[in-house]
Each structure stands twice: as C-alpha cells, then as structure tokens.
C-alpha cells in the first residue's frame, strides 16, 4: 500500500507550478490536500479539478509572510481532515538581479517569503509534529541553495539559509526523538511562473533564454515530492537536486 494514501498534506504556493503539480499528483494517490496561496480563484479552480477527479482537497487564501495565516491553514487541515502529516513549504519568489542594482525592496520580499515564509510553516506544524512524534517538512530550496550564481545573490542567500534550516531540523528532531522527517528540494530550470517575478530586464532575458532551451515541467518535481512522502516512517530521504537532463 502506498504510504501517500490518507496522509494530510498542506502545500503553500499551491496556486501554480510545483505546488499545483504536487497537489494533483498526491491527491491522485490518495492524499488529503490543503492548499494555500494568495490567489484564491486559482486555488478554487485546482481544488475543483482535484475533487472532480475523485480526490480530496480544500483551500484557504494564505500569505506565508503572515504567521497567523499559515497557522490558520494548518488548523484547516486539522478541522477538515482530523490531523496534519506533511507540510510542503513551496511558496517562493525569484526577482533576481545584480546586487549593485540595489533592488532592496525585492531583497526584503525574498527574505520575507523564501525564508520567513518557510519558518512560519515550520512554526505552524512544530507543536503537532512534536507532540504526535511524527511529521514531514518538505521545502523548496533551489539549485541556487547549493551553488552561487551571479544575479542570484539574495535569492541564493535565502535558499542557502533554507538548506541549513532543514538539515538542523532533521538533526534536532533525531536528538529529540520526535521522528520529524525533512526533504529539501533543489530544482534547477523548471518551467513555472517563478521567472515572472524578475523585474531586472537583463537578468530576465538571460533566464528566459536558459529556461526556453532546457526547462522541464513542474511534474518532474511533483514526482520527487510524492516519492519523499511515500517512504516508510523510518526512512528520511532528505535532499533532492532536480536538473533537466539537458542543463549543464
């Protein structure tokens, strides 16, 4: 039996891309999905599609920079499906630019969403995961959380931070005996709406050209998420780098 079945999974950044693809695949395999993002109309559409296909899902408009809203999303999972097994911290933005361009507002937005948003997700599930002594935290970092790329100084800084955070959660949970599993995803050129957040024209042109030539769909990452959730409780598959085969 697949251990994805009947798991209650909260996904942030669920209105498109990796979040949407993961929600649909997990629901197809019998998980109960609770979807959060800022675009409520997109969430409703995705949930309607999941239910029409015979799956179970609900949604709530969620801004991950607001701790109370992330808590409310987790509470919805408990109210609607009776518990929480997995949170997938997937919300993120990538307005890449050279540091010298000083897009300081964009730096702050990346820190608020890509790093604090993940921390808000962790905080929202930690009391339940600790008391029930099981749970899984999956987070989208980036290949820019492993390697340094010009143009991605602050974006990469948030993604390196997430990498460290997730590994420390894994180690501390092992020490504390709470059995919390972590999985960190490092996607490379995956075709999603992420590029739409880039305002710096030169950076955008370079990224568009790369993604147009080698990019692959978000289903590639969804399958990895499904694989991680599907492992037995005593197995923690904790880091995944997902490259298009064509990307050098």
- Tally Cβ neighbours within 10 Å of residue 167: 14
Which one of the listed residues 59, 155, 186, 211 is annotated catalytic?
155
In order of 77, 108, 245, the CA distances from 103 in angstroms are 37, 9, 33
78: which 2 tokens? Answer: 């408990």
Would you call 59 a catalytic residue per the annotation?
A: no
Going by C-alpha positions, the residue among 13, 122, 9 that lies closest to residue 67 is 122
Which active-site residues does the annotation give? 155
């Amino acid at each position: 039996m697949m251990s994805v079945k009947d798991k209650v999974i909260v996904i942030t950044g669920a209105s498109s891309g990796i979040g949407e693809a993961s929600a649909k695949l997990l629901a197809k395999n019998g998980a109960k999905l609770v979807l959060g993002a800022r675009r409520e109309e997109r969430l409703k559409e995705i949930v309607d599609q999941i239910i029409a296909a015979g799956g179970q899902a609900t949604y709530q408009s969620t801004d991950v920079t607001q701790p109370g809203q992330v808590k409310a999303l987790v509470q919805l999972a408990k109210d609607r499906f009776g518990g929480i097994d997995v949170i997938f911290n997937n919300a993120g933005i990538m307005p890449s630019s050279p540091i010298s361009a000083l897009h300081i507002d964009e730096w702050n937005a990346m820190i608020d969403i890509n790093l604090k948003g993940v921390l808000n997700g962790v905080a929202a599930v930690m009391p339940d995961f600790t008391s029930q002594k099981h749970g899984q935290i999956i987070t989208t970092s980036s290949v820019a959380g492993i390697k340094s790329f010009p143009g991605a100084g602050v974006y990469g800084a948030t993604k390196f931070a997430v990498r460290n955070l997730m590994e420390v959660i894994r180690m501390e949970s092992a020490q504390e005996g709470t059995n919390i599993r972590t999985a960190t995803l490092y996607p490379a050129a995956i075709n999603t709406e992420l590029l739409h957040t880039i305002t710096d024209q030169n950076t955008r042109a370079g990224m568009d050209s790369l993604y147009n030539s080698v990019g692959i769909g978000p289903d590639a990452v969804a399958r990895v998420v499904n694989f991680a959730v599907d492992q037995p409780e005593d197995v923690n598959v904790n880091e995944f780098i997902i490259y298009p085969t064509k990307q050098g």
